[in-house]
Structure 1
Amino acid sequence: MSDKRNILISETFQATEPDQALHGASADFLNSPFAEPLELQDFDPRSPERFFNRELSWLAFNWRVLEEAMNPRVPLLERVRFLSISATNLDEFYTVRVAGLRELARAGNSSPSDDGRSPAEQLVLIHEDARRLMEYQQEIWSVLRPMLAEAGIVILTHRDLTETDREFLNAYFLNNVFPVLSPLAIDPAHPFPFIPNAGFSLALELQDKRGRKLDALVPIPSQIDRFVRVSSNPIRLLPMEELILAEMGSLFPGYTLLGSCAFSVLRDSDLEVEEEAEDLVREFEVALKRRRRGEVVRMKISVGAPPDLRDVVMEELRVPEADVIEVDGIMGISTLKELVLDERADLLWPSFTPRVPERVQDHHGDMFAAIRQKDMLLHHPYETFDMVVRFLEQAARDPDVLAIRQTLYRTSRDSPIVAALCEAAEAGKSVTALVELKARFDEAANIRQSRRLERAGAHVVYGFVNYKTHAKISTVVRREGDRLVTYTHWGTGNYHPITARIYTDLSLFTCDAALGRDATRVFNYLSGYAEPATLENLAISPLTLKPSLLQMIEAEAEAARNGRPAEIWAKMNSIIDPDVIDALYAASQAGVKISLVVRGICGIRPGIKGLSENIRIKSVVGRFLEHSRIVCFGNGASLPSDQARVFMSSADWMGRNLVRRVETLVEILNPTVKAQIVGQIMAANLADEAQSWIIQPDGPALRTLPAEGEERRLFNCHRFFMENPSLSGRGSAGAHDVPELTHTHD
């Protein structure tokens, strides 16, 4: 990007008027003509080949995450974090997606996926790619480990310990580790113990002084830290399994260690819930216990394990050879996140403090006054999530607030959102909380929160058995003079203050009466199964969201067929719904220009002649996790334009979101918020060069790495958002309202 264009984008987004905010927001992906389409021989655009495989597309995304661990532009400890995230992602993928495919294959189910592959065929390809990915994780660790040592963070083995180290560690072990370990002999009197999901253990071959051999296990509790600090200057850390090997004399006095290996297991973590369960909460409590005992879907074991010991572990866990991964390196890569030390700020991203919107400051923190002035869209984490918390805390303490309704999909353990709802209920306000019990891996936390809310006097409902409630909505009903005003918050992310620090999401605050009525209708649907007869500025799954999307995509196609400008911009986590993809293909063939930012799973093959020559797709992977869902339709004009129809959503374009969940698609009508989404958020994402991967027609994603010294010249949307305030949150010191947008597209 030229210096001139860099300055243009920077100056443009600090503009005071919405039409200025739209002008000049461009980079190669945004402004360049669509690439020459790829012509494939013998390609049938109606065949299953038109789709990318869902599972392989997800693995491709995780490869992009892993590549950030090798990105020299990323600070060293952040590279370690990316390595850890890639392992955590892969573990969850195996415990849910791979486990499900295994069950289908074992049941003899040969139903093809959208791309035409049976479960068994998919498993073969998954295992091949996942094994390569796990090998690459170890290669990356072999690069990062000496770099950490050079930076003063040394990872030891028990063979590296000095006598002084051993004295310190012996005392540490006896006081902090020994009391929680349960060494277990393996013999007819001591059956092989149950190893829980994600369980990590040492298997040992021992011999006593009389020559008698003993096999034993030492499960390593997840409640203790993986790494023990041996010294602080330099920082020297010893993995827990190495400490245990160094302290064998304390665990098995009188025995000599002949051989050992470390192993870990992943189990099927999918939940099966009886649809007609009389007590849904109780059913989930039982299901959570079942999850711990799911079948093993993958076992990792250290390379060079004693053959007899390896055989015993495999036999007792009933793991076939095909599901065993030998690890030549460090076990438990997901736990490397413990190495991301706050004290080494020099090896982390530069610190960033989310902004408080100027308009809220102008009103001395009064959220209701700020919202009454005009609609306000916050872009997290660049604008602080504390404003969402403040909105509910202020509602809880305001004597004029009569009622609060809230959806809860994922929350933190000590959720300030739940605390505010409890405070409101205890103050005598009518509080209704829709708690989703089926939020994967957060079910237990949500059950605890629902009990807490009930004790405070809130009405807790659990929505539908057949549908997850994934919509993010808050409503606050406030008496103002002789009328009731409904304030609403609509989000693309969860009400979770911790993840809100790293997930990019949108929060719309409004007191628009139509959206207030729409929100009330949705809550009535959730709590009383009262299907809304009409919605004014909203579409919801599973009722109207998908038909509305398809209708608007077709409207763009019809505009193109009639010779008018036609364009779609969209941003989300995943696109795999075949009906939506086929609609986009049809629109592309009609001449609609479609630019997509898809972080993760993507079933669309872009840039193929006769199918998708007008579709281009990128994935942004960087400091923050892209999570917001946005869609913009040209509506008879090229984007950006004042004619555009602009929406924010809680839903990805996946079957589960469009058919099996309650989701929202909120139309944005306020001109300033509209300008912010199209000309600031979408334009900057499309303009990003520094963190973007371009999806290719044949599957792989490509990115251009800068030459040495050129990093700052590439436009980085995350850096841009950190440096520039959001348009609709500007106060008296910033932007003022302009009622109309001016078309600025060349």
Structure 2
Amino acid sequence: MEPAVDLPRFLDRESSWLQFNSRVLELAEDKEIPLLERAKFAAIFANNLDEFFMVRVAGLKRRIATGAAGATASGLTHREVLQRVLSGTRTLMTRHAQVFQEQLRPELAQHGIEILRWSDLDASQQEQLYALFRERIFPVLTPLAVDPAHPFPYISGLSLNLAVLVRNPVTGNEHFARVKVPPLLPRFVDVSEGHFMPLEELIAVHLPHLFNGMEVLGHHTFRVTRNEDVEVEGDESQSLLETLERELVRRRFGPPVRLEVEETIDPQVLELLVRELDVHDNEVFRLPAPLDLTGLFTIADEDRPELKFPPFATALHRDLADYETNSAIDVFASMRQRDILLHHPYDSFTTSVQAFLEQAADDPDVRAIKMTLYRTSGDSPIVDALVDAAEAGKEVLVLVEIKARFDEHANIVWARKLEQAGCHVVYGLMGLKTHCKLLLVIRLEGNRLRRYAHIGTGNYNPKTARQYEDLGLLTADPQVGEDLTHLFNRLSGYSRTTTYRRLLTAPNGLREALVERIDRERAKMTGGRRGAAKTARIRLKMNSLVDEAVIEALYAASRAGVKIDLVVRGMCALRPGVPDLSENIRVRSVLGRFLEHSRIFVFGQEAPASPTGRAVGEPPEVWIGSADMMHRNLDRRVEALVQLTDPAHRRELTAMIDTVFEDDVACWDLGPQGEWTRRVPPDGIPLRDVQESFIDARNQLIAARRARMG
């Protein structure tokens, strides 16, 4: 029967994303979190919203402009979604500014970290900053006049600008000029220890030096956000690298999607900006200065450990070294013993994945290395190891995803560097992004080749591996090695293999495989097989859940009585807790010190033991990998999930999800109307932070190891 509710079956994905960013803002408001960490969350909120406008809002405007017909999955038209988004972002941006002005700014000042105005400085500080302006800032400023001989200048996306009104004292004529705040200079100028001034403030007080002989009547800060999503199209005869390089140039000239202005802006100046930039009134956001609070990353980096989370040391995984003899890490030897399940950042990335690659690059018995790179860090030991391997004569294949959003330019640089070192660099399949995280090493042992592999949920980036929560599997299992060999052949050549033994991949069948497993759990409730219903269970952890086919399968399983627990960090279009539709589904979200990034898929559960003490039925299936439940991941990306076969690993990940649903855990619950509610401590007892629990466990492990080693 149909659900007895008068609600759309799917929540709006854009509104759901805004609610996610609202949860980030809640962390900036949370006085239980160290102050500089709250400043960082405020900066993350601002950065998230910039990207949301550049991609999601821009996409909505593009679909409206091209006359895209039909409603969205939530039942709303694209125009209705855009209006909701603009209204929702206005509320959030106002709240964000208030958090900074009324909470963070005064609390930072109480701890000796101040963001000052020019009038707050004493004479010596003003003299010091004037010298800085004259020597380091003034030479790179370019005032651009606007008059019949000077058309309105191009305003680059996310640049901070000063709109300046000047008057000619001879003619009395007033003129408009634009001064761009140099993006390569620090957003906040260091006045003295713990004291900062917004760069635009320093420029503003010295505007007379830029307009000699003119009277400066006023200045107003503004900032434009543009459509900066890159769309790469072309046939197979075109060079993907060259096509993308052209698109990156074109990105700079995308149409505006948002105009942020200082709330005190002169109405005539605002009218000029709106007209020349061709933005609508509902795309104008008036905010108190300073604009662009992504600059709070600079403040959050202050060396004030008492205002930050306590230091955290990652641990060497217990299966990667013999602590009794204090021997050096031999990743290959450890992998031959067993599959190794890594949980970053608690397990060190440097001494596991990075060590695996570096050992492979240095090992004379290694014949080949094959790897995918989606994002990596600026000073990357991963790239260095691949270069070393190629220069040592090893066969090195690197699939560089140069279309990774906002990392395109950096990835082009890495691709060129790797090519120059002798690596075989490919860019994947036309029309698809390669998002899977794969590393395959082929090593000669005796008279045969053995394959070693790593499959993960996160990028090969040592920097983000300390900030993102991710999982990875190190394995020498021959089935995985054979699967990856076929998959890499498909990515680099013309292999048509799309089915594997321990892998599930997109875009060839991942959605169907997951829906089949969801349906299998539903069938346990309805098939009548004795005892099967007791093993029916679904537990998933991911960043986003918006794919309608997956959600419909979960609804059907819920209506059959299957208990379903979902941990979704960001967007979720599924409505939980709706009678006759999803009353057996619970959805929670965890945000905290680390960005929850791992994806886990658990189907089934251990059956109760029989009277003889033996478990009945099949063990649960547990998969990890790179895919979220989104159209782009399942249809337009190469993704890979790997099945875990070690019972201890299955128990570990199942327990990880179960922990989030315990009553005393800090998290947010999703309700049937699409509302997210933060759990409140009962009777004033602090809720348990799951990330802190993992940190505590690793600290205890490190302490025990040190004690054993004397």
TM-score by length of 1: 0.89
Partners in 1 of 2:273 and 2:705 — Cα distance?
Answer: 68
Partner of 2:596: 626
Question: Which structure's relative contact order is higher, taking Cα pairs within 8 Å and 6+ residues apart?
Answer: 1
Compute the displacement of 1:412 (Å).
1.4
**1:359–1:729: 8 Å Cα contact kept in structure 2?**
no
Matched residue, 1:144: 104
Counterpart of 1:717, as a letter, is V
Q: 5+ unaligned residues in a row in structure 1: which ranges?
A: 1-38, 735-746
Q: 1:664 aligns with which of 628, 634, 640?
A: 640
For the residue of structure 1 that corresponds to 2:321, the secondary structure is: helix
Measure, in 2, the Cα distance between the counterparts of 1:392 and 1:263. 46
Q: 1:185 to 1:395 in 2, by over 3 A?
A: same
* RMSD of aligned residue pairs (Cα, Å): 2.4
Q: Which residue of 2 aligns with 1:738?
A: none
- How far has the Cα of 1:671 moved from its partner? 2.2
What one-letter code is carried by the residue in structure 1 that aligns with 2:180? P
AA aligned opposite 2:514: L
The answer on 1:678 being equivalent to 2:654 is yes
1:665 deviates by: 1.4
Partner of 1:8: none
User: Aligned residue for 2:138?
Assistant: 178
Change (3 A) 1:461 1:733: same
Structure 1 residues 111 and 729, CA gap change in structure 2 (3 angstroms) = farther
CA distance in 2, matches of 1:100, 1:246: 39
Provide Cα deviations, 1:148-173, integer angstroms capped at 9, x if missing partner: 11111111112222222210110111
Cα 1:411–1:504 change in 2 (3 A) is same
Given the alignment, which residue of 63, 66, 69 partners 2:22? 63
Q: Tell me: CA distance 1:554–1:730, structure 2 relative to 1, closer, same or farther (3 Å).
A: farther
* 2:556 corresponds to 1:586: yes
Question: What SS class does the counterpart of residue 360 from structure 1 fall into?
Answer: coil
- Partners of 2:521 and 2:4 in 1: CA distance: 29
Specify the code of the residue in structure 2 equivalent to 1:374: R
Range with bigger deviation, 251-260 or 92-101: 251-260
Please, which of 269, 274, 281 is the counterpart of residue 233 of structure 2? 274
Q: Alignment partner of 1:687: what SS? A: coil
CA distance in structure 2 between the partners assigned to 1:313 and 1:373 by the alignment: 66
Q: Is the 8 A contact 1:358 1:733 kept in 2?
A: no
Structure 1 residues 204, 255: closer, same or farther in 2, change over 3 A? same
Partner of 2:346: 382
Aligned residue for 2:212?
Answer: 253
Query: 1:240 corresponds to which residue?
Result: 199
Aligned to 2:259: 299
Letter in 2 for 1:77: L
Contact 1:204 1:257 in 2 (8 A): yes
Matched residue SS, 1:263? strand
Q: Deviations over 1:389-441 (max 9, x none)?
A: 11111101100000000001111122211111111011000000011121111
Equivalent residue for 1:721, pick from 687, 694, 706: 694
Structure 2 gap ranges (5+):
610-614
CA distance in 2, matches of 1:726, 1:368: 26
Q: Is the 8 A contact 1:673 1:727 kept in 2?
A: no
Q: What pairs with 1:555-570 in structure 2 (closer than 5 Å)? A: 555-561=520-526, 562=528, 564-565=533-534, 566-570=536-540
For 2:699 and 2:392, locate their aligned partners in 1 and report how far apart those are by CA, in whole Å: 35
Displacement after TM superposition at 1:209 (Å): 3.8
How many positions carry a matched residue from both structures? 688
One-letter identity of the residue aligned with 1:720: S
CA distance in 2, matches of 1:432, 1:731: 41
Q: Superposition pairs for residues 310-321 of structure 1, below 5 Å? A: 310-321=270-281
Alpha-carbon spacing, 1:625–1:552, altered in 2? closer, same or farther (3 Å): same
| Stretch of structure 1 that moved more, 106-115 or 246-255 | 246-255
Distance 2:608 2:521 in 1: 10
Matched with 1:131 is: 90
- Relative to 1, partners in 2 of residues 1:533 and 1:600: Cα closer, same or farther, differing over 3 Å? closer
Whether contact under 8 Å (1:688, 1:716) holds in the other structure is no
1:731 CA drift (Å)? 12
Q: Give CA-to-partner distance per residue, 1:263-316, whole Å, 9 cap, x none.
A: 000111122222316111100000000001100000001112122222222222
User: Which has the larger displacement, 592-601 or 474-483?
Assistant: 474-483
Q: Distance in 2 between matches of 1:593 and 1:41?
A: 20
2:169 touches 2:214 (CA, 8 Å); kept in 1? yes
CA distance in 1, matches of 2:516, 2:3: 30
Q: How many angstroms apart in 1 are the aligned matches of 2:68 and 2:81? A: 12
**Alpha-carbon distance change, 580 to 666 in structure 1, aligned in 2, over 3 angstroms:** same
- Which secondary structure state, in structure 2, belongs to the residue aligned with residue 50 of structure 1? coil
List aligned pairs for 1:479-558, cutoff 5 A: 479-532=444-497, 534-558=499-523
Letter in 1 for 2:495: A
> Superposition pairs for residues 328-367 of structure 1, below 5 Å?
328-362=288-322, 363-367=327-331
The within-5 A match list for 1:414-433 is: 414-433=379-398
Paired with 1:342 and 1:642, the residues of 2 have a C-alpha distance of 53
Residue 479 of structure 1, CA deviation: 1.0
Does the 8 Å contact 2:221/2:291 carry over to 1?
A: yes
Does the 8 Å contact 2:22/2:92 carry over to 1? yes
**Which residue does the alignment assign to 2:612?**
none
8 A Cα contact 1:672 1:727, kept in partner: no
Check whether the contact 2:558–2:583 (CA below 8 A) recurs between aligned residues.
yes
